[in-house]
């Protein structure tokens, strides 16, 4: 792969994260991937935006002593813990063994109460048991409020009204936009923005082996956190968006590649997006449309997993991405929309 880095021209604020362009040589053809780096949000992930709209949707119902509960694989928990701390209300994060110790420590630093669910569900994940615990608590404590990222329209709203318009302003060009899927909130928000404003984007959902998020079941075992789900997305209709399914090995190999050649440490689901983009370029050789990927978080939360040789040896077979891909240049920051 060959990369181009462009100069940074955008300051990250809670509502604005930078875009980096990777110029690639894919089997002799010049292609561009735009990376929107959501790790630049104040608490390090895309879920900062979701936490903000979820909080707004429930704030009038929050009891100061009972507070808020949410099931989380990490990023939303960190963002909600920070928001609840700001408003001085208790927050309970229902997590699982795959949640990284870094994320748990961050939630604790904001005063969150952590409930770890150790029991695997029938679908090889923990989500169904995390949700069962949340429901039990709601029955036992009627004043407790659940933000419910799985069904609350405030989840896609964050991306329909903020993330997607922001990316459109930054790149202003036709593109294939790839989004990692867990609850499906990001994907649904982008689909809704594109439909409502007739934006010339093809929106693609990227999922992992072993997930039930977009179809009834994709065979395989899920080892990455943040991407994939034990249940169908309540926000995305079957067949509503093209899909690419990648293995954990491909996702991790793409993280290592981008870290080596571009010096950008991405999280596992961003690696899945890069792997999907490279595959898309190979399959759609004659389509010269750029690809944009919304990278939900950065490598800081994955030092003991994706970026640990020991973890990789124990958990996955790392596949190198498709051959003949060379990073030509990496442009940090915004590229003028008239460029190609
Ligand atoms: C690591 C990670 N992967 C994927 C996603 C996409 O998740 P969802 O489908 O819930 O919007 C997120 C959301 O922020 C995330 O933090």
Instruction: Give the model confidence (pLDDT) of 144-173 as tens digits.
Output: 999 999 999 999 999 999 999 999 999 999
Per-residue pLDDT for 4 more than 80? no
Could you tell me the pTM of the whole model? 0.92
Reported as a single tens digit per residue, the pLDDT across 289-306 is: 999 999 999 999 999 999
Domains and CATH numbers, the chain: 2-43+154-332 (3.40.50.1100), 47-146 (3.40.50.1100)
Atom of ligand 1 nearest to the CA of 233: 9
Q: Is the CB of 183 under 6 A from ligand 1?
A: yes
Pocket perturbation via mutation, ligand 1, pick of 38, 49, 53, 75 by most ligand atoms within 8 A of CB: 75
Q: Compute φ and ψ for 176, nearest 5 degrees.
A: -100, 120
Angle at 44 (CA atoms; ends 130, 114), nearest 5 degrees: 30
183-204 mean pLDDT: 97
What confidence score (pLDDT) does residue 11 get? 45
Who contacts 185 (Cβ-Cβ below 8 Å, separation ≥6)?
50, 149, 155, 156, 158, 159, 235
User: For residue 145, what are the β-bridge partners?
Assistant: 68
What confidence score (pLDDT) does residue 170 get? 94
Percent of residues, the chain, with pLDDT higher than 90: 75
Kindly tell me the burial class for residue 92, based on how many C-beta atoms sit within 10 Å of its own C-beta (0-12, 13-18, 19 or more): buried
Q: Is the CB of 228 under 6 A from ligand 1?
A: no
Pocket perturbation via mutation, ligand 1, pick of 130, 193, 235, 269 by most ligand atoms within 8 A of CB: 269
- Band (pLDDT 50/70/90 cuts) for residue 314 is very high
What single string gives the DSSP state of each residue in 201-252? EEEEEEEETT--SSSS---S---SSSS--SS--SSS-TTSS-EEEE-HHHHH
Indicate the range of 213-217, 245-249, 274-278 predicted with least confidence.
Answer: 213-217
């Amino acid at each position: 792969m060959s990369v181009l880095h462009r100069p940074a021209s955008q300051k990250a604020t809670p509502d604005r994260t930078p875009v980096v362009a990777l110029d690639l040589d894919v089997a002799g053809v010049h292609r561009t991937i735009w990376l929107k780096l959501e790790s630049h949000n104040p608490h390090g992930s895309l879920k900062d935006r979701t936490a903000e709209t979820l909080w707004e949707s429930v704030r009038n119902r929050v009891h100061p002593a009972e507070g808020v509960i949410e099931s989380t694989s990490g990023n939303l928990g960190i963002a909600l813990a920070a928001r609840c701390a700001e408003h001085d209300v208790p927050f309970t994060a229902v997590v699982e063994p795959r949640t990284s110790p870094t994320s748990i420590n961050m939630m604790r630093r904001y005063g969150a109460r952590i409930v770890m669910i150790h029991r695997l569900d029938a679908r090889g994940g923990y989500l169904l048991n995390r949700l069962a615990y949340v429901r039990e608590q709601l029955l036992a404590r009627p004043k407790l409020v659940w933000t419910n990222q799985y069904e609350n329209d405030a989840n896609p709203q964050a991306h329909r009204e903020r993330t997607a318009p922001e990316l459109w302003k930054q790149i202003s060009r036709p593109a294939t936009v790839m989004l990692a899927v867990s609850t499906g909130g990001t994907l649904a928000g982008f689909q809704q923005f594109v439909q409502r404003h007739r934006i010339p984007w093809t929106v693609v959902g990227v999922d992992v082996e072993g997930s039930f998020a977009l179809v009834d079941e994709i065979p395989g075992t899920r080892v990455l956190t943040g991407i994939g789900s034990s249940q169908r997305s309540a926000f995305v209709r079957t067949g509503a968006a093209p899909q690419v399914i990648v293995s954990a090995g491909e996702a991790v190999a793409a993280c290592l590649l981008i870290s080596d050649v571009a010096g950008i440490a991405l999280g596992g689901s961003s690696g899945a997006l890069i792997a999907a983009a490279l595959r898309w370029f190979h399959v759609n050789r004659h389509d010269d449309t750029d690809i944009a990927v919304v990278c939900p978080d950065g490598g800081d939360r994955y030092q003991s997993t994706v970026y640990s040789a020991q973890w990789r040896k124990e958990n996955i077979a790392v596949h190198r991405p498709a051959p003949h891909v060379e990073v030509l240049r990496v442009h940090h920051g915004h590229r003028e929309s008239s460029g190609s």
